[in-house]
Structure 1
Amino acid sequence: MSKKRTIYSALPIVAAAYGEKLGVKVAIGNDEAYTDGKTIVVPNIPDDYPHMDAVWGYLAHEAAHVRFTDFGVERRRGLHTELSNVLEDCRIERAMMELFPGTSQTLNEVARYMAQAGHYEHVTDKEAPASILTGFCLYWLQTKAVGQSVLQPYLDSATSVFERVFPQGVVVRLNALLRKAVNTKSTAEVTSLADQIIKMIEEEKEKEEQKSQNGQDSNNQQNAGGNSDAAKMLQQVLNAGAGDLRGDAHDALKAELNRVAQDKGDSSYMTVRSAVDTQNNPAVGKSLVGNVKSTTSKIRTQLYGLVQASQRVAHRNQRLGKRVDARKLHRVVMGDTRVFLNPEAKKRPNTAVHILVDMSSSMVYKAANGKERQDIAREASLAISMALEAIPDVNPAVTFFGGNRNQPVFSVVKHGDTVQNRAGRFGFKATGGTPMAEAMWYAAFELTKTREERKMLIVVTDGQPQSAPACRSVIDLCERSDVEVIGIGVETTAVSGLFQKNIVIDDAAALQRTLFRLMERSLTAFAA
């Protein structure tokens, strides 16, 4: 992994940010790029891939389909599907740029790369007539309607070939019909416009046939032959099969991304999963707050006092200033003019803290004090998060992980939430396995969105993660990004093999005390 890579530029994090911004679901796959109409799958592209802008362009294009394309609208095989796809690509990209102006640059960049990589190809005389026609439509729409000027040379060559091969009537009428594309508002309107283009070709074919017939009637065999050839060519366009059509240039881009992922992809990267809010139970919340109230108050007072003490303003004497230090005036007699006070402000904590709590099925085991580990963990995380939010510039969050691969991450308190208002969500019951890597990717993503200068990720677990390599990958990225990562092992030493900074406690009952001491050292050290 390159030392330049950080959590902020890691593929899963950036893909998740794009998905969140564009309002679509994004998943990280193994070595296949595809969209099922609901979720966009981005293959595991390696860190050193030099064309990441093309990846984000692919994502933006597919996101436009997910948001704006009605996949239920029928398209007929052959020319109708090809024309509909070309027209729809234009419509959805224009809609995307209107909704998210920033995607204009991204989509233009992927067009530039696709041209450079040969995914876009110039139209030539050697192609089937249907390929010439759809190629002209593609470059006309992408250049004139979408605004991708990088494709202008492709439009120029396509126009030259198209006007040379097709009858004047088709050229004039197709240009007029393509201008209608900018006004289409739905997939249904797009397929209707494709129907209009096909109908126009049929009409022009009939005209050429009529001209041929008229030429024969007037014994003008030369004109009749030319018109007959034009009619046959237009019939070939109407009968075009897959081998006569250009296909989607984006398929070539996807194939390239798939090859790169297959050859060099990082299999430890994971999709940043969406967290489901745990169920709110006000009665449970009230009981939990009551259980930890005295402890929380004590921890809050102690932490706040320690932070305040570490922030007390120190003073240094200097030769210039506005405030005189009366205690140092005697120095003047000795020629020492350092009698002015210069306050040195201490740093504020300014810290986002994300606490991940293992809620796998093993957390139902009892500790030495007779309480189940899950009860101790939820009370400890509630107490410390309530104490932390009372300290200025400290932004806590709590997430549970467990369940199954379909839903492994559960949000209890998000950054910026009032903890006590979310107390009823701490009653989540332990279940399932230990999807620690999924939880860490989620927490890392949430931390990247916080404004605090300092970021901490604390993982509380009582067992082995389901994927240690994936855990090490995200831990490494976090540490390279100055995110402090600490593992707390509850009656397990497994954390020592994962986390450079780790604490092992022999009794789950010591968890609350351990969290307090950890935050005490961390916050006061930073503020000092």
Structure 2
Amino acid sequence: MKDITEIRAYLRDKFVGKAVTPSDMIKSCKAVLGSLPIVANSLTAASGKPVAIRYGDKLGSTDGKTIYLMQMPIPGASTDVDTFVLMLALAYGLIHHEVGHVNDSTFDDQDINESRQSPLIDHIFGIIEDVRQENVHIARYPGSKLYLDGLAAALQVTGHYSAVTAQEPPLAILTGYLLYRLYWEYRGDYTVENMLIQAEDAVRQTFPEGLVARLETVMPRMDDLESSADAMDLARDIADLLQDEADKAKEAASNPPPSGADDQQGGQGDSSQDDSTTGDPSQGDSPQGSSSQDDKSQDDSSGGGSGHGDGSDDDQAQRAQNLQAAIDADDTQKGYGDRSGDIASALKGLVNEVESDGSDGHVDLTGAHLNAEIKTTESNLPLVSPGYDMAEALSVTAQLRMRLVREMQAFTDGEISVGTRGRRLSGGHLSRVGVCDGRVFKTVDEEVEVNTAVCLLIDVSGSMKDQRIALASQALYATTRAMEGIAGVNVAAAAFPGFSVVKPFGVSSRLVQDRFHLDVHGSTPMAEGITHARRMLSATPERRRMLIVITDGDPDSRPATEVAILSAQAAGIEVYGLGIQTNAGEKLFPSWVTIKSIGELPFTMMGLLRERLFAKAA
């Protein structure tokens, strides 16, 4: 990619998709943002290690046990799409990068930690280990390549990955070249191609001739790295190689060839065998556009503050001095290494920018809704005692229940037709043979398959107290029982706050009837409740998934609830809102129904299910 405009377009394409209008782009971004907590917690849970996500000043790092992150703000109306996209790219990239370290990097190896006391080795090791573990992570989760490549692109836009020129400090030139070269060639991240072209040119201008060729003799070992220890071995070998090159260059500068030898060698040059082949795009070793040694003499004459020259003895001495300066650099000098620090700095800057523009709250990356059980029941569900009369609820809805089952059965059964051809005779039409009517073969059209998972999510916050929660609990049980009678429908029920499974998928409601005697408590964390229900639905095998949210009031955070709904829809879940004496969710949910009395609840829920199932199945 040649410039920042092209990189921004690349990121938009990856995170916004087919959305065209600014409002649709923002909605797409919010949907992606809403999935971040689920992705983060799923990846850490899959690692099999006791990984926690916490907020703090160690943002963007991991010690193998804890990944340090921060809350992600929900951008307000004044935040532009590109800023939103950059924040998403960095957040997702950071998650995948750090989880890769958790799964595949070694943190407590004394030999590695001692070697990292050298700033040069620490920088080189950080680059090599990043590339190695990201390759392993991509092999394990192929979809992560999109986010890890997007990470490099976002770092370029924010300026944390910048063009390396000959005017940079020697350490920055050397490590910048290694960073872009290894990511381009051994990680397959082509977003850094233009950066590599400039960095290679700077290396050729700054350091002894032959350095690039020497480095290329050890780079292929990247393909064989299997551990952090292997990465450190390679980093140390590169450091030794660099010192060897510096020593040879200093020796050559202090012992120039006898007079006349320069003229004899002038047409050849030490680097004719060095970089002219590696810079040739036809050899496949460098990206198209890398400068060759034939171009270098012109570039050398324009070199700036590092003492680049025209191949004279002074120039050779300066090049040796530059390389030694890179080798001897301390922690205060600019250099590239493990990208975690750059990611953290870039992400923190964007988060601060979004918040200063006026954010609409935050999407939490931790919380009970992300770790709560989704397949089995738990004992912490607040219940009333004595319970409600569920027999009364079933009797009230029995007729509607039976009609719904009959209608769905008739709708899903295949239509039978009789014709003059086929393989199966229709016993009821054989008499037609006597009147020369050949329509005696029976054909059954393909059945309509419902194949739907439905999660009923009920609000049990404090405002649902007294008769309201009693009737709502009865209606929830009656509706669940009714849906269980429909072939192809898999139903579950959940409640918030508390993020509890009332009835799991695949378990008969008769077996957990006592869990429907719900009691009220807490506020209305609807966003978290929807996320919990989404996790339940995502674990089901059904092709179609529906979520019906039953509530009597405003959520604690409308922006967060909007993000959760958009995220669920993006995951292929149909979301419906059912308000009890409230229109609060009318502009929040994509489909909203209001009932005036709690007694309407069971009939409205089953009517909604009937309408949606018929409409979709047809």
Could you tell me the TM-score, scaled by structure 1's length? 0.69
Shift of the alpha carbon at 1:435?
Answer: 0.3
- Give the aligned partner of residue 501 of structure 1: 592
Alpha-carbon spacing, 1:180–1:374, altered in 2? closer, same or farther (3 Å): farther
1:275-332 per-position Cα deviation (integer Å, ceiling 9, x unaligned): 51275359x99x9999758966985655423422455667899999999998xx9xxx
Structure 2 matches for 1:169-208, cutoff 5 A? 174-187=215-228, 189-191=230-232, 193-198=234-239, 200-201=241-242
Q: Which amino acid aligns with 2:164?
A: V
1:244 alignment partner, SS class: coil
Matched with 2:461 is 360
Amino acid in the other structure paired with 2:104: F
Aligned-residue CA RMSD in angstroms? 5.6
**What do the CA deviations read for 1:198-238 (whole angstroms, capped 9, x no partner)?**
455456656666777888xxxxxx96995587257514531
How many angstroms apart in 1 are the aligned matches of 2:604 and 2:315? 93
1:97 matched to 2:138? The reply is yes
Structure-to-structure mapping, 1:8-87, within 5 angstroms: 10-15=31-36, 18-19=39-40, 22-23=43-44, 35-37=60-62, 38=67, 44=74, 48-49=81-82, 54=89, 57=93, 60-70=96-106, 74=113, 75-76=116-117, 78-87=119-128
* C-alpha distance 376-84 of structure 1, shift in aligned 2 (>3 A): farther
Alignment of 1:410-449 (within 5 A): 410-413=500-503, 415=505, 430-444=520-534, 447=537
Contact 2:73 2:362 in 1 (8 A): no
- For 1:250 and 1:20, how far apart are their aligned partners in 2? 19
Inter-partner Cα distance in structure 2 for 1:102 and 1:304: 41
Which residue does 1:308 correspond to in 2? Answer: 409
The 1-side partners of 2:418 and 2:444 are apart by 9
Which of 259, 262, 267 is equivalent to 2:360?
267
1:459 — aligned with what? 549
Name the counterpart of 2:279. Answer: none
Give the counterpart of 1:402 among 483, 493, 497.
497
Which 10-residue stretch deviates more, 54-63 or 290-299? 290-299
Q: Which amino acid aligns with 2:454?
A: V
Report the equivalent of 1:389. 484
Amino acid at match of 1:358: D
Contact 1:33 1:43 in 2 (8 A): no
Letter aligned with residue 372 of structure 2: V
Q: Is the 8 A contact 1:487 1:501 kept in 2?
A: yes
1:433 Cα deviation from its structure 2 partner: 2.0
User: Aligned pair in 2 of structure 1 residues 150, 36: CA closer, same or farther (>3 Å)?
Assistant: closer
Say which SS state the counterpart of residue 144 (structure 1) adopts.
helix
Classify the secondary structure of the residue corresponding to 1:433. coil
Q: Secondary structure at the match of 2:496?
A: strand
Structure 1 residues 178, 470: CA separation in 2 closer, same or farther (over 3 Å shift)?
Answer: same
- Residue 142 of structure 1 is aligned with which of 183, 202, 224? 183
Give the AA of the match of 2:199. Answer: A
Distance 1:227 1:193 in 2: 27
Find the aligned partners of 2:554 and 2:35 in 1 and give their Cα distance. Answer: 28
Instruction: Tell me which moved more, 65-74 or 380-389.
Output: 65-74
CA distance in structure 1 between the aligned counterparts of 2:315 and 2:447, rounded to whole angstroms: 92
Code of the aligned partner of 2:578 = G
2:487 aligned counterpart, secondary structure = coil
TM-aligned CA distance change 1:450 to 1:129, over 3 Å: same
Seen in structure 2, the aligned counterparts of structure 1 residues 169 and 516 have a Cα distance that, compared at 3 Å, is closer
| Runs (5+) with no aligned partner, structure 2 | 1-21, 257-311, 433-438
2:378 to 280, 289, 305: 280
For residues 466 and 64 of structure 1, the distance between their equivalents in structure 2, rounded to whole angstroms, comes to 35
2:207 to 163, 166, 169: 166
Q: In structure 1, what is the Cα distance between the partners aligned to 2:178 and 2:252?
A: 26
Contact 1:130 1:236 in 2 (8 A): yes
Instruction: For residue 168 of structure 1, report the CA deviation from its aligned partner.
Output: 5.8
Q: Secondary structure at the match of 2:378?
A: coil
SS of aligned partner of 1:395? strand
Answer yes or no: is 1:487 the counterpart of 2:587: no
Cα distance per residue 1:130-160 (max 9 Å; x no partner): 1121112112211232133454554454344
What CA distance in whole angstroms lies between the structure 1 residues aligned with 2:216 and 2:149?
23
Counterpart residue identity of residue 461, structure 2? S
* Counterparts of 1:80 and 1:427, CA distance in 2: 64
Give the secondary structure class of the aligned counterpart of 1:136: helix
Cα distance in 2, alignment partners of residues 136 and 83 from structure 1 = 11
Distance 1:479 1:245 in 2: 43
Segment of structure 1 superposing worse, 114-123 or 86-95: 114-123
1:245 corresponds to = 335
Quote the Cα distance in structure 1 between the aligned partners of 2:32 and 2:477. Answer: 32
Post-superposition offset of 1:104: 3.7
CA distance in structure 2 between the partners assigned to 1:308 and 1:209 by the alignment: 88
- % identity of equivalent residues: 26
SS of alignment partner, residue 2 of structure 1: helix
Listed one character per residue, the Cα deviations across residues 480-502 of structure 1 (whole Å, up to 9, x for unaligned) are 9893513242x777567866633
Moved more, 104-113 or 317-326: 317-326
Is contact 2:35-2:567 (8 Å) kept?
no
Query: In the superposition, relative to structure 1, how do residues 343 and 269 fare at CA in structure 2: closer, same or farther (>3 Å)?
Result: farther
TM-score norm. by structure 2 comes to 0.61
Which blocks of at least 5 consecutive residues in structure 1 are unaligned?
216-221, 330-337, 368-372, 404-408
Cα distance per residue 1:65-114 (max 9 Å; x no partner)? 45434566744484344223212221121111221234345544554676
Per the alignment, do residues 432 and 150 of structure 1 end up closer, same or farther by CA in structure 2, a change over 3 Å counting? closer
Deviation at 1:169, TM superposition (A): 7.9
* 1:41-86 C-alpha deviation (Å, 9 max, x unpaired): 5564679449679555565444434543456674448434422321
CA distances 1:28-52 after superposition (whole Å, capped 9, x unpaired): 999x995353265556467944967
Counterparts of 1:94 and 1:229, CA distance in 2: 34
In the superposition, relative to structure 1, how do residues 493 and 232 fare at CA in structure 2: closer, same or farther (>3 Å)?
closer
**1:161 CA displacement:** 3.5
Quickly say closer, same or farther: Cα 1:276–1:28, change in 2 above 3 A. Answer: closer
Q: Which amino acid aligns with 2:31?
A: A
Q: Aligned partners of 2:28, 2:228: CA distance in 1, in Å?
A: 38
Paired with 1:523 and 1:70, the residues of 2 have a C-alpha distance of 52
Q: Matched residues in 2 for 1:309 and 1:357: separation?
A: 30
CA distance in 1, matches of 2:521, 2:347: 38
Aligned to 1:335: none
1:420 Cα deviation (Å)?
5.8
- Residue identity matched to 1:15: L
Aligned pair count?
Answer: 503
What SS does the aligned partner of 1:399 have? strand
The one-letter code sitting in structure 1 at the alignment partner of 2:453 is A
Shift of the 185–263 alpha-carbon distance from structure 1 to 2, 3 Å rule, reads farther
Preserved CA contact (<8 Å) 1:314 1:344 = yes
Deviation at 1:357, TM superposition (A): 1.7
Letter in 1 for 2:378: N
Q: Please, which moves more after superposition, 340-349 or 71-80? A: 340-349
1:10 aligned counterpart, secondary structure = helix
CA contact 2:454–2:489 (8 Å) conserved in 1? yes
SS in 2 for 1:162: helix
Change (3 A) 1:472 1:151: closer
